Amino acid sequence: MNRQLTDYKKEMQEELDNILHYWAAHAVDEKYGGFAGRLNNENEADELAPKGSVLNSRILWSFSAGYHVTGNPLFLQMAERAYKYLVSHFTDPEFGGVYWTVDYKGKPLDAKKQIYAIAFAVYGLSEYVIASGDDNARAQAVALYQSIMLHSYDPVYGGYLEALGRDWKELDDLRLSEKDANEKKTMNTHLHVLEAFANLYRIWPDKSLYHNIKDLLEVFTSHIVDAQTGHLLLFFDERWNAKARTVSYGHDIEASWLLLEAALIIDDKQLVDMLKPVCLRMADAASRGLDADGGLWYEYEPETGHLVHEKHWWPQAEAMVGFMNAWELSGEDHFLHRSLASWDFSKRHLLDKTNGEWFWGVDENDQLMPGQDKVGLWKCPYHNSRACIEIIKRINER
């Protein structure tokens, strides 16, 4: 077992270095500033592609966290680049918050206030403060948190509304992406608001923030985690009536460790004890999406029995962390084996050993999914770099 963990940690250190050096070498936009909006699998840039605030914030988080782990000054330099671009191009100087997208020159393109995107800006800025000690970045993270509380928080039913217009007025289309249901509240946004608030608490342990994190964890245990199945429910109206039964295996395993991490960050022992069995149940539920080769399928529709036969990069990365977390909680070795199997699957099918980084995903025949980005609005360094960082940290703490 010790040899397995030693090898796992070594491979994670090497892969973290590979991922971040890829982004530093290929994703920097020297012509228009910041980072490229899109690269294909051959690392060819689409110079005119829009740039997304989520991608920029995830780049900011990844290089900041990578610097904290490695001390490599290049990573801090890249984090500073992402920070400056976020502040100068994505932050709305008139209404607050951040734009969803800007054009390739950095001009506002889609100026709506998607709470998911603002949460990722808080998450990235908070990590940058940890890496750099920049007080201005801390103030900007707090200001964005306050914008979320002021405009998105639902004081009647709890939780956070999905999206608003640039001026914080109601929108007809609240969707995060075309595949999502047009509902007022979603699991996905709440998961990443929780993640952002918890990371902000590391650098700004404010009492009201503490209570808002506790309230979010209550939302998850009361409304979002299905008490019957252990899976997450994905879409809701404002009163928390579930609007779909779709199972997202990647989100199940991601939430199984993020919920517990939030409780640990605020150091609430009662919450930690309450969440441990919940998180183990979620990891068990996510295990239903595992294939025999160790890969995690994408989504399942229980009403029709339809399984989406795709294995995207990010659920594999989250499975590495989530199953290791379950092993740490339970001591049951099959969870560690699932974590290792997720990494083994990723090495065999997702790592681009020619051009670098991870491919978007493969189909049921292990063929690459065509037409997907290597870098894009959704294809980022955050899930896989974070998996490396979490595995390194957890093995170091043993």
Could you give the percent of the chain with pLDDT greater than 70?
A: 100
Give the containing element (helix H, strand E) for 281.
helix 269-287
Q: Which domain holds residue 253?
A: 2-396
Q: What is the mean pLDDT of the chain?
A: 97
Contact 338, 286 (CB under 8 A): no
Band (pLDDT 50/70/90 cuts) for residue 217 is very high
pLDDT digits (tens, 9 = 90+) for 153-197: 999 999 999 999 999 999 888 887 877 888 899 999 999 999 999
For residue 164, the SS3 value is: strand
Backbone phi, then psi, for 291, in 5-degree steps?
Answer: -90, 165
CA Rg value for the chain? 20
Structure-block tokens of residue 175: 């969707």
State the total domains in the chain. 1
Considering only CA atoms, which of 258, 199, 179, 201 is closest in space to residue 225? 258
Whichever domain contains 309, its CATH number is 1.50.10.10
Q: Report the distance separating Cα 247 and Cα 282, nearest Å.
A: 12
Contacts of 352 (CB under 8 A, 6+ apart): 41, 358, 359, 374
Q: What is the pLDDT of residues 237-274, one digit of tens each?
A: 999 999 999 999 999 999 999 999 999 999 999 999 99
User: Stretch 296-301: mean pLDDT, rounded?
Assistant: 98
DSSP class of 248: E
Pairing of strands 299-301, 247-248: antiparallel
Nearest Cα to 390, choosing from 224, 223, 264?
A: 264
CA distance 66 to 392: 11
* Cα–Cα distance for residue pair 79/243, rounded to 1 Å: 39
pTM score of the predicted model: 0.97
For residues 284, 289, 295 and 296, what is the CA-based torsion angle, rounded to 10 degrees?
-90
Distance of CA 143 to the CA centre of its chain: 21
Q: Rounded to an integer, what distance in angstroms lies between the CA atom of residue 86 and that of residue 84? A: 5
Question: Which of 137, 153, 280, 155 lies closest to 204, judged by CA?
Answer: 137
pLDDT for position 78? 98
DSSP E strands, the chain: 51-52, 101-102, 108-110, 113-114, 163-164, 185-186, 235-236, 247-248, 299-301, 306-307, 310-312, 361-363
> 1: pLDDT confidence band, cut at 50, 70 and 90?
low
- CA-to-CA distance for 141 and 134, rounded, in angstroms? 11
**Average of pLDDT values for 192-203?**
98
pLDDT at 345: 98
Torsion of CA 84, 197, 338, 249, to 10 degrees: -100
C-alpha span between 108 and 90 (Å, rounded)? 7
